[in-house]
Structure 1
């Protein structure tokens, strides 16, 4: 019989006040859902992670448990609010959950990075196998070398992109000239200007991608400078050491409108509807952040949760599963992550017709679960 229980996982303190809720902060716990078959002894646990999404109710949990493994969906300390998220703290949360599962008797852990969890899963596994990080990108002490991280036995990138900073930069609107005036736009770098496409020429795409990196790095330089100024002001006395800010234009990837770029079975658009609307609406990706969170989560050069960079050092077997109709995690993402693995214990699986959330296709979600359980061995 399948059962579901809520797991309270002891939370490793992060050292900073970056969770608004005192109830959450002082509880000393993060939470996960465990689905299992009570007729089976503890054995393999499949842990599904994301930096900020609430995976307690993840669609794959019951399907996985029905195939004989325990299935766990994690909610990190930043669940539902990534405005002050520090990726290195998310690594601590994954580590605490894996340790808790070991204590419950699960001797085999399969770590699944789903969607934006891909970069987190890769970073976790790399640090668990060979820990090196002692500070956040902002320079705050956070010692993963002393955290006792337990490596997962296998890793799965499921409908995943390589990391939030990567996909964010690929969607960052380079036509925004002034960070405070999002509609003061550079027509030469505006994918929404019909003069530029779609279809978009190779020359425009190259110029556009360069502009996206430039904008990300301008924001990063400003964040680093401002953190330094705050430290100087606070020297010798109390004062704020972080500030919130807004980023306009974060859903402007040319692939959203030009299906010939990174060809697949997807339809035009984003996970949040029209690209032009999603580019500015608050509920889409990464509009509200802080100086420190920007460096850890969204900075292309400073964020460590980048599967392209982390997977080459991972020794555990890695499977990459992607959908041919996904409009968020593209075929090039899947291929890039697969190619980044430097050993032969790797597998690349395409699920034909699957979009990012398997909308209307529970049969395809079930196929993904079949692949994960088979990979779990």
Structure 2
């Protein structure tokens, strides 16, 4: 087995200073084969919130001769304050380090899980700048000249932050301030509604999910206007979004059948998870909602960015995934502007616990075919 060297990388951000305790805003771990020349091709993987410094494919791809930078912006574990333009600037720090310090000549952007739409946004911005600052924020100069990647891989990738949150939302919530409030006609955990869920219920449910997202956006914009229209000292505020483990596909395996385990989400039983305290978007600032989660205003949807990606692209779908579905993978593949693009399938769950060497072999072969 190839010996692997792991190097901690801590770098400044163009937006914020180093922490008083010493930590750099941008941090990660660079994996590469021990000894020999620097790898000519290197991967970089980043997520909105999850720490990717020790990504599950890092060692596998390093063993196959690549560099792999598991990279974190300052929003790792800090989702409540996420701002897309700031994150893109800090991903650019990692890409530049790979080219200028690690000696990589070719960069592969790996968009895994939620990071799929984030890395798509990065490549899109590098190719054709379009990302705007969220309401009330200044433009970020550092995102106007980002170094682009040479290849793009979407691995078990969600279709975008506003889309995934809306698809997982429980639309039976009547009062956003009451975690137990529920409209029984839309309650996905009321046996009277299913499973199985009929076509009419599914249509009403999906529409109600979109309406809930829009109601929150209306409230957020009103809150920002109220803060701006007074002499209040606050420019933003925190709030909670409850009950976000209620995608009907998690509960009813007849909707988009796949190899997934029925009645499961990433946190186990959907009914239990839905009323728990852990969930995507559960804590937000007003501006983070607009930047990440709002169907109306977020620029974290993958499709518009994928339409600007023309480099060779690979989409890999895990067929037993309990939170990403084949329709998501096909939508990502279809939205890519690349002429050279491929869609592959692996029978495993979201983080590929049983098939990581297989995934690494697949990606390795695809990259080698492209020089």
Residue of structure 2 equivalent to 1:168: 165
Q: In structure 2, the residue corresponding to 1:226 is in which secondary structure? A: helix
- TM-aligned CA deviation for residue 40 of structure 1: 3.4
Q: How far apart are the structure 1 equivalents of 2:252 and 2:208?
A: 18
**TM-score, with length taken from structure 1:** 0.92
Query: How big is each residue's C-alpha offset from its partner over 1:135-192, in whole Å with a ceiling of 9 and x where there is no partner?
Result: 22x2412336754201100111111111121111001110001101132211111111
1:13 to 8, 12, 15: 15
Instruction: Find out whether 1:259 has 2:253 as its counterpart.
Output: yes
TM-score, normalisation: structure 2: 0.93
Within 5 Å, give how 1:1-377 maps onto structure 2.
1-13=3-15, 22-23=19-20, 27-37=23-33, 38-104=35-101, 105-136=103-134, 138-143=135-140, 147-234=144-231, 239-268=233-262, 269-352=264-347, 354-359=348-353, 361=354, 364-377=355-368
Whole-Å Cα distance in 2 between the matches of residues 133 and 81 of structure 1?
21
The answer on whether the counterparts of 1:131 and 1:145 sit within 8 Å (CA) in structure 2 is no
Contact 1:134–1:145 under 8 Å retained in 2: no
**Distance in 2 (alpha carbons) for counterparts of 1:298 and 1:324:** 26
Whether contact under 8 Å (1:122, 1:305) holds in the other structure is no
Distance of 2:178 and 2:341 partners within structure 1? 46
Aligned length: 363
CA distance in 1 between counterparts of 2:220 and 2:16 reads 21
- Partners in 2 of 1:367 and 1:330 — Cα distance? 20
CA–CA distance in 2 between the matches of 1:271 and 1:49? 19
In the alignment, the residues of structure 2 paired with residue 61 and residue 312 of structure 1 have an alpha-carbon distance, to the nearest angstrom, of 28
Unaligned runs of 5+ in 1: 16-20
Question: RMSD value over aligned CA atoms?
Answer: 1.8
Alpha-carbon distance in 1 for matches of 2:187, 2:75: 33
In 2, Cα distance between the equivalents of 1:349 and 1:296? 31
Q: Which residue of 2 aligns with 1:18?
A: none
Deviations 1:311-345 (A, max 9, x none): 11211122111111000111111000001113321
Work out the CA distance in 2 between the residues paired with 1:169 and 1:50.
19
Point out where structure 2 has 5 or more consecutive residues left out of the alignment.
none
Structure 1's 79 and 172: CA in aligned 2 closer, same or farther, altered over 3 A? same
